Chains A and B, each alone.
Chain A
């Protein structure tokens, strides 16, 4: 590739200041040295190498501490003003490996939510922060509202069924819920952000330690992508949590969705950019009709253009979302509802666009795009998995309802 990724897709990167360019560069070096430069080895020994490489990034290079508040020993990137920088870091990581990107993203979501609603739970936040400073890989995950089952009436969050319930118990709460599907890492998660409903059916977030009594993990799931994150269903059998572990502020769940859409959009964007690098390499070096490089064939060039267009536009959309999360200058400030709606819209669009780009690009690569050797298919599987998890049940229908509710004041949908 003659022009670098920054030139092609990073046209808004110049806005960054402070430590951000250095941290982003660090993540890029990790991606190049630890994964992309040893792609075949990484792929062949993925199960064994995933955690080793993630440790290098999270612990040795310190990215686990990125969103830990500064006064607690971290880098202090937990606030909205760093949302764009975090998304950019996650894109660099996603270029190498989406699972590692998701692992970091979920940790950043955890701290962003905890610190945003830290009032009255400073001790809890400090304890979590301290654990993230240890020399041990930490994994957070979340359980979002999703599909209910016919015959069961559940509390709802914007139409989606909330399957976990909390109720007061002694000085804290107990949480219950069977066979809940986490976003990722059900077998390993140290902390879970669980969207649940209180005794009055109001949505809230319980922060549940993975080792709390009453937390039961199911068998490991085989999934399309992100298998390194070892997902499994989780049941809560009257699992006890402390009072400060329950976040009841109404803005918390919209913020959780907003950050997931931004950060996981960053991961998928990175995967898309690396796919584009692979695709360009392919179309530069392979010929069609006996003589013409693929990229010089007009039909193939139009496919390359499709892929580039989707990735470039996704980058701009994510940059726009990051500005909405951290408004300043001429950017209009949105309330939690508006921000949530924009995040869901943009998040869904970005995932669709990256999937479209990869699907189109694979058409050019033919069977090679399908072979594990070229790594294109891993990005394809990983991003599809992120898309399905993020967009929620019903494909785009629930997101469309959110959008219609916001823009059109629909009341019954």
Chain B
């Protein structure tokens, strides 16, 4: 194999933007990210290095506009039939360089998808928020404020809990929603995002999905308090922190769609988030392959290149094989999302689609965690060395396995679909 691009992907699945966008992103990455990414960890709080790269990526190259309709200056991707494949390409290419940067961009799309994806389109809110993202050359972030202190990622378990454990409340007073609650860990929190999508309940303790509300809250609204970013093991380009909503008032029409439809539109985010997660992982693993290739070709065991030793070859061959398989699966997951409006597709809110995509994400996460750990061992005393980049990916991608309900929720969703479990 001559190049990491030759890892398999079904060519008939590629979106019309694939070739052009991939080349633009790769140039950006080589110029703006690769030369400095080893310093990102120390920049986790200030983002002095990271912020200019985001300005270039999201503002100047314009990726933050991608979802919005062209009439607002956007690219109209949300209205296309290839948004999942577009996201896959974007997240994989960025993930090759820095998964933290990839997730910060992808999560900006996340709450906006709730109002953009047919059949859940809210034109008034699109018009309201378009200028924020389409009218500037500076990076502009959004965040999905989901996780709460008491229940971890129970909120992502909509299939079973239907919002029953949510404690962030939305109370209607006149023509305003009044929001109270505490959220943890959203990507792009810690002072970064300008707009939050906030899942909340209009009736605490209710399992009726009509009581689930998805409400947009500007970060500068009165009563919104953000904590500083958490210090983490990796993913420095993705800031996370606490957000408190204390009698925060927003217009009544900042609710995405209304009773019942909010929950359905929100549930669409799960497969999108999982597909993006798979893409981060295959991107990171492709860069892992690049660095591993260099190491095993230039370093020796018994005075022969490592890769020519059959025992080592057995290990690295399996690793490369896993990348190949994971990439095929990732593209299949993206295509499952993009088939949603075809006669042979499944709606994004179907248990089958969610279960199958979660299953692929769980599988790819496990392969990525195991393979990056193994590659660190192949590099031996150089494995933990920042200069070889493997350890950065190893630290960064662990959180991808853990987020969105983690491995256990993936297993449960999968069991629910494949075995018709009723109580999990």
Which of A159, A370, A393 is B380 in contact with, Cβ under 8 Å?
A393
Q: Which one of A221, A381, A388, A392 lies within 8 Å of B233 (CB-CB)?
A: A381
Pick the contact of B384 from A152, A223, A395 — CB < 8 Å? A223
A256-315 residues with Cβ-Cβ distance < 8 A to B are 286-290, 299-300, 303
Asked whether A299 and B408 contact (CB < 8 A) given A287-B151, A367-B185, the answer is yes
Binds B, one of A64-72, A79-87, A330-338, A358-366: A358-366
| Residues A146 and B402 in contact in the complex (CB < 8 Å), given A154-B303, A289-B154, A397-B311 | no
User: Is A290's CB under 8 angstroms from B399's CB?
Assistant: no
Min C-beta distance of A375 to chain B, whole Å:
11
- List of A residues within 8 angstroms of B184 by Cβ: 367
* Chain A residue, CB-CB nearest to B303: A153
Asked whether B412 lies within 8 Å of A299 as measured between CB atoms, the reply is yes
CB distance from A379 to the nearest CB of B (A): 11
Chain A residues within CB distance 8 Å of chain B: 144, 146-150, 152-154, 156, 159-161, 181, 183, 221-226, 286-290, 299-300, 303, 355, 359, 362-367, 369-373, 377, 380-381, 384-385, 387-389, 391-398, 400-401, 413
Interface residues, chain B, with chain A CB atoms under 8 Å away: 38, 41, 147, 150-154, 157, 160-161, 164-165, 184-185, 230-234, 240, 297-303, 305-306, 309, 311-312, 314-315, 369, 373-374, 376-387, 391, 394-395, 398-399, 401-403, 406-408, 411-412
From known contacts A290-B165, A397-B309, infer whether A391 and B408 are also in contact, taking CB-CB under 8 Å.
no
* B403 partner residues in chain A, CB cutoff 8 A: 366-367
Residue from the list A183, A359, A395 in contact with B377, Cβ < 8 A:
A395
- Select from chain A the residue with minimum beta-carbon distance to B207: A290
Tell whether, in the assembled complex, residue A288 and residue B312 are in contact, meaning their CB atoms are under 8 Å apart.
no
7 of the cross-chain contacts (CB-CB < 8 Å) are A288-B154, A359-B369, A366-B406, A371-B233, A388-B379, A393-B382, A397-B311
- Output the residue of A286, A366, A400 with the most chain B CB within 10 A: A366
A148 touches B299 (CB 8 A): yes
Q: Are B311 and A373 in contact (CB under 8 A)?
A: no
B300 in contact with A147 (CB, 8 Å): yes
Known: A388-B377, A388-B379. A159 touches B301 (CB 8 A): yes
- Chain A residues, CB < 8 A from B185: 367
Considering the complex, give the chain A residue whose CB is closest to the CB of B381: A181
Q: Could you tell me if A286 and B383 are in contact, using CB atoms closer than 8 angstroms?
A: no
Tell me which of A150, A363, A387, A413 contacts B401 (CB under 8 A).
Answer: A363
Given the complex of chains A and B, what is the CA–CA distance between A384 and B391 in angstroms?
10
Give Cα A142 to B157, complex, Å.
50
Main secondary structure of the interface of A (DSSP, over half): mixed
Q: Are B408 and A363 in contact (CB-based, < 8 A)?
A: yes
B373 touches A384 (CB 8 A): yes
Q: In whole angstroms, how far apart are the Cα atoms of A369 and B403 in the complex?
A: 11
Given A224-B384, A288-B152, A394-B309; A371-B301 close (CB under 8 Å): no
| Minimum CB distance partner of A400 in chain B | B311
B303→A148 contact, CB < 8 A: yes
- CB-CB under 8 A for A150 and B298, given A389-B384, A397-B315: yes
The interface residues of chain A lying within 8 Å CB-to-CB of B299 are: 147-150, 393
B219 to chain A, nearest CB (A): 21
Q: Provided the pairs A149-B299, A363-B407, A363-B408 are in contact, do residues A392 and B381 lie with their beta carbons within 8 angstroms?
A: yes
In the complex the two chains form, what is the Cα distance from A354 to B358 in whole Å? Answer: 27
Bound CA–CA A377/B230 (angstroms): 13
Tell me if A394 and B301 are in contact (CB < 8 A): yes
Q: Which interface residue of B150, B240, B380 has the most chain A CB atoms within 10 A?
A: B380
Query: Is the CB–CB distance between A183 and B315 below 8 Å?
Result: no
Instruction: Verify A363–B406 contact, CB threshold 8 A.
Output: yes
Residues of A within 8 A of B314 (CB): 397
A369 to B398, CA, bound (A): 10
Bound: A259/B215 CA distance, A: 60
Complex Cα distance A389/B312, Å? 17
Residues on A with C-beta less than 8 A from B157 are 289
Interchain CB contact under 8 A, B306 and A394? yes
Among B240, B297, B399, B406, contact of A150 (Cβ-Cβ < 8 Å): B297
Bound CA span A146–B378, Å: 11
List of A residues within 8 angstroms of B383 by Cβ: 224, 388
Given contacts A288-B154, A371-B231, A377-B233, contact A149 B408 (CB under 8 A): no
Closest beta carbon of chain A to B141's beta carbon, Å: 19
A384 touches B312 (CB 8 A): no
Known A299-B412, A366-B403, A372-B232; contact A388-B376, beta-carbon cutoff 8 A: yes
Residue of A nearest to B319 (CB): A395
Do A290 and B379 contact each other (CB < 8 Å), given the known contacts A149-B299, A159-B302, A373-B231?
no
Q: Which residues of B contact A159 (CB under 8 A)?
A: 301-302
Give A299 to B410 CA distance when docked, in angstroms: 12
Separation in Å of the B181 CB from the closest CB of chain A? 16
Q: Please judge, given known A-B contacts A367-B403, A393-B299, whether A287 and B380 are in contact too, CB under 8 Å.
A: no
CB-CB < 8 A to A363: which residues of B? 401-402, 406-408
- Evaluate whether A149 and B300 lie within 8 angstroms (CB atoms) in the complex, with A290-B164, A363-B406 already known: yes
**Min CB distance, A45 to chain B, in Å?**
13
B301-A384 in contact (CB<8A): no
Q: Contacts of A290 on B, CB cut-off 8 Å? A: 151, 154, 161, 164-165
Closest Cβ neighbor of A288 among chain B residues = B154
Q: Which residue of the partner chain, among B232, B382, B385, contacts A371 with CB atoms under 8 Å?
A: B232
Task: Using CB atoms, name the residue of chain A closest to B302.
Answer: A159
Residues of B within 8 A of A300 (CB): 408
Contacts of A148 in B (CB 8 A): 299-301, 303
CB <8 Å contact, B233 and A384: no
Is B231 a contact of A370 with CB atoms below 8 Å? no
Min distance, Cβ B44 to any Cβ of chain A, angstroms: 10
Given contacts A150-B299, A388-B376, A397-B301, contact A181 B382 (CB under 8 A): yes
Most chain A beta-carbon neighbours within 10 Å: one of B152, B185, B374: B152
Contact of A147 among B380, B387, B406 (CB under 8 A): B380
- Are the C-beta atoms of B394 and A224 separated by less than 8 Å? yes
Given known contacts A384-B373, A388-B376, is B300 in contact with A221 (CB within 8 Å)? no
CB distance B305 to A150 under 8 Å?
A: yes
A384-B394, A393-B380, A395-B374 given as contacts; is B305 within 8 A of A366 (CB)?
no
A152 to B299, CA, bound (A): 10
Contact call A371/B230, Cβ cutoff below 8 A:
yes
List A contacts of B378 (CB < 8 A): 393-395
With a cutoff of 8 Å between Cβ atoms, the chain B residues found around residue A385 in the complex are 384
Q: How far is the CB of B188 from chain A (nearest CB, A)?
A: 14
In the complex, the chain B residue whose C-beta lies closest to that of A397 is B311
Once A289-B161, A388-B376 are accepted as A-B contacts, the answer to whether A398 and B402 lie under 8 Å apart by CB is no
Given contacts A161-B303, A394-B306, are A388 and B402 in contact (CB under 8 A)? Answer: no
B contact residues around A364 at 8 Å (CB): 406, 408
Known: A377-B232, A395-B312. A370 touches B399 (CB 8 A): yes
CB atoms of A224 and B395 under 8 A apart: yes
Task: Other than A392-B380, A394-B380, give 8 A-B pairs with Cβ distance below 8 A.
Answer: A149-B300, A288-B152, A299-B408, A359-B373, A366-B152, A372-B231, A377-B233, A384-B394
- How far does the alpha carbon of A46 sit from the alpha carbon of B406 in the complex, in Å? 30
**In the complex, what distance in Å separates the CA atom of A290 from the CA atom of B148?**
11
Q: Which residue of A lies closest to B41 (CB)?
A: A222
| In the complex, residue of chain A having the shortest beta-carbon distance to the beta carbon of B313 | A397
**Across the interface, do B312 and A397 meet the contact criterion of CB distance under 8 Å?**
yes
* Given contact pairs A224-B395, A355-B373, A370 touches B232 in the complex (Cβ within 8 A): yes
A388's nearest neighbour on chain B, judged by CB, is: B383
Interface centre among B231, B233, B382, B386 (most CB of A within 10 A): B233
